[in-house]
Amino acid sequence: MIEVPKQPTPAARAGRVLAVFAVAFVAIVTFNSLRGGTSVSALVSEASAALKFDSPSVTMTSSSHPALGTVQAICDKSGPAPKLYVNISYAKWTALDGPESPNRAGFWLSFDLPEGCEPFKSVFMSYEVGGSGHPPFDGRQFNGEAPGGFGVPHSDIHFWTISDAERMELVGYGSCVTIPHAANTPTGEPEVCNQQAATTDAATAKYYTFPPPEYTTGFEEITIFGGAAVVGHGNHMATVEDNAGPGTCTLAPGSPAPQGPPWLGCMQQFLGVVTGAGWTDHNCTCGPWTAMSSPVMITYDGKVYGNEVMPMVALADEIAAGNKPNPYLQVFPQAEKYSTSGYQTTHTFSAVSGNAYQAGLVLSPTWRDADPE
């Protein structure tokens, strides 16, 4: 089992620094004796300059939202593998779900990340209108059944390789032709890009221009429900496993086929509830989301712009109850090539630590330079 690294004690860190300093000092003294001698104070200064002390092992930025309280973004490089994650009140996180929650109107929260966990520069969290984060998929929750697909309360936690201001310049309001009456942003603007418009609108086409496959190894385009290009988010690519599981909707054997792909039957099921016409069973079911969390890749205009962890709200309680490991890790597929230099994502993780819920990325122990394009 891969474990999220634990932070060493201050005494241990101090010991490491002193040991490295001593080695450097002895090396410079030895070299100095060969070149003719210098004062001890000058040697100490020279040894200090020779050591390239890392930035603090744990750095942090924070922001706040009424739904979550204070949210900290933490870059932790104290162990063998860096971790980059958001730290949220457990009580606030678990209160997002439920029919009485005031958060079912949805919300966005975004801010810049601390330095040290490059290539990532900003975090964008979304909890979409209706508390589902996506279309209701097969909508079976409206018929008193267990829902299939990703249409259950969860958050998209995007770690972007550009600043928050740069993200909004790329994929902010007005950056694509949207679908009226589909999902809206928390402030009411339509947010789902219209894939059909990509053939005639150059701005919308950028959402559907995917990177070369060697930059997205292990991920695939999401095609059900008109795709996953969303204002503010960019486009989302799912793992091959997720696309074949919760990302696939099928009709029961013998069911009359809709005029189009099977997921249209699921859409007809939930649209009846959304429009007030009521539930009608079209025998459509989407795969179960048993993992309760998913790795996601964020793309736009032919480039990878971020990595995402997408956890169910209910995952925190499952971890706390011992039904899922703590920390709960999932492999993030490794690309053949990378377009940005830095510590590349190896896993996503969720954890419960005291009164906090944590979700984010485990990064590679070593820096990897971007591949030449």
Averaged pLDDT in 10-residue chunks for the chain of 373 residues: 42 39 36 39 35 64 94 96 98 80 76 97 85 74 90 93 97 91 70 93 98 98 92 96 95 79 89 83 94 98 98 96 98 97 98 98 97 88
With vertex at residue 182, the alpha carbon angle to CA 180 and CA 186, rounded to the nearest 5 degrees, is 100
| Radius of gyration of the CA atoms of the chain, in A | 24
pLDDT of residue 99: 58
> Nearest CA to 73 among 110, 107, 119?
110
pLDDT of residue 98: 62
How many helices (DSSP H) and strands (DSSP E) are in the chain?
8, 16
* H helix or E strand, kind and range, residue 269: helix 263-274
Rounded to an integer, what distance in angstroms lies between the CA atom of residue 362 and that of residue 81?
A: 7
Rounded to an integer, what distance in angstroms lies between the CA atom of residue 362 and that of residue 6?
A: 12
pLDDT of residue 275: 80
> Nearest CA to 139 among 266, 246, 283, 225?
266
pLDDT of residue 104: 60
pLDDT of residue 136: 82
Residue at 76: amino acid letter:
D
SS3 state of residue 346: strand
For the chain, report the end-to-end CA distance as a whole number of angstroms. 35
Rounded to an integer, what distance in angstroms lies between the CA atom of residue 224 and that of residue 235?
A: 13
SS3 state of residue 351: strand
Alpha helices in 298-343 (DSSP H): 315-320
Neighbours of 229 (CB within 10 A): 27
| Spatial contact of 339 and 363, defined as CB atoms under 8 Å apart | no
